Structure 1
């Protein structure tokens, strides 16, 4: 994708990978808007990065997404990149008894419905731009799941599949669809269940952001790094892509 001169919205932009990418893109000469549901955190990040703006949006709520899309069109009519990056990660033990319905719904609402609704809400604006991108954040766990996160992994597999289909549907428009597949990165995503003994295995955030920026700049449809690239390359082989091409030719 083009790496400068864009107007970019990054959901989940107040922390972790979202914030790292927001700051990296701003340094490359882009107008950056961070999105999230907690205004105080958004204000703090924007204040630390003069020129950065923010948009309050709860990606688990349809009405919030629709309102945010309308506000974005009014305030930033040249918006041409949307990073669909908001996400939550929960642990579930289906062998251990009752599942927390509230946590289950939050994870699916954010990671599945949120991704679809953000794409749908912002596409009318994006399609009016000469060049535009939707960048959906999946995970290395989209390709090879980790059983302690059964729902999270399934939601990210959904993001991968949705991105492939959306890319085909939009091929005759000005909008490119890119999938961003991170490995295990040192962020707050797993703060509620981090295994302290294995936390050192996480890729440092700055290292990941630098690698992700390079992948995005390369023009890859699937910008995968580290373990995520290993999983992607193992699963998305020539045979699979050949079948996909036949189904969608």
Structure 2
């Protein structure tokens, strides 16, 4: 993926990694549309960052996704990049069946069904472009599990395999599939993560992501150095040790 001259939609990007990435992509000469559920946050983004377009979308609601897609494509018919950024991360206790099911279902709806529905809503349009990109967002936890978040881990593993599979199906078309694999980053995704010493500073993460995109436009995975500890565990043969290290200290360590 070249990093300039695109029209890019990032749903779920009113804060954290999504907003930081949106602003950096705008700086590179792209027209960026930010999507989010809360109108007041969208209005703040538009006011504080002139040139950023916004659209309301609830990625847990299929009707909202369809409506947002219609709006985006009507207002920005040259859209050629979709970054499926939305996600939630919540702790679960599977020893308490009554307590975890609702959280697990909400996580699957947002983290897995959300990207599937978003991609479906834009696929016909993207296939009609001369060149286009779908960027998914998985996690280092797609490859090594964090004890408190079983369903989050599972949805991110599913996003990784979805990305791999879509890349195979779309080979020979105009659409490339790119997977962004973050480590733990200092955002509000989980309580305490924004101040975790072992989580990667947000600015450093986005700097490295942009550098990787610029240096390797042909890449299929964008993974910063800090996530390699998790991403390469099986290939290196130290998976049990990595699982133990990840789950034996700060729950955000290297995640």
Taking structure 2 as the reference length, what is the TM-score of the superposition? 0.87
- Equivalence for 2:25: 25
Q: Take 1:100 and 1:144, find their aligned partners in 2: how far apart are those partners?
A: 21
Say whether the 8 Å CA contact 1:140–1:227 is kept in structure 2: no
- Equivalence for 1:37: 37
TM-fit CA distance, 1:230: 2.7
Runs of 4+ in 1 over 4 A off after TM superposition: none
- Equivalence for 2:205: 208
In the alignment, structure 1 residue 176 sits paired with structure 2 residue 176? yes
- Equivalence for 1:234: 233
TM-fit CA distance, 1:152: 0.3
- Equivalence for 1:223: 222
TM-fit CA distance, 1:229: 2.3
Q: Take 1:57 and 1:9, find their aligned partners in 2: how far apart are those partners?
A: 11
Gaps of 5+ in 2: 237-255
Q: Against the structure 1 CA distance between its residues 37 and 147, is the aligned structure 2 distance closer, same or farther, given a 3 Å change threshold?
A: same
Q: Take 2:198 and 2:228, find their aligned partners in 1: how far apart are those partners?
A: 16
Q: Against the structure 1 CA distance between its residues 195 and 115, is the aligned structure 2 distance closer, same or farther, given a 3 Å change threshold?
A: closer
User: Which runs of structure 2 are paired with 1:147-158 in the superposition (5 Å)?
Assistant: 147-158=147-158
User: Which runs of structure 2 are paired with 1:1-249 in the superposition (5 Å)?
Assistant: 1-191=1-191, 194=192, 199-217=196-214, 218-219=216-217, 220-235=219-234
1:75-99 deviations in Å (ceiling 9; x for gaps): 1000000100000001001124522
After TM superposition, the structure 1 stretch with the greater mean CA deviation from structure 2, 101-110 or 129-138, is 101-110
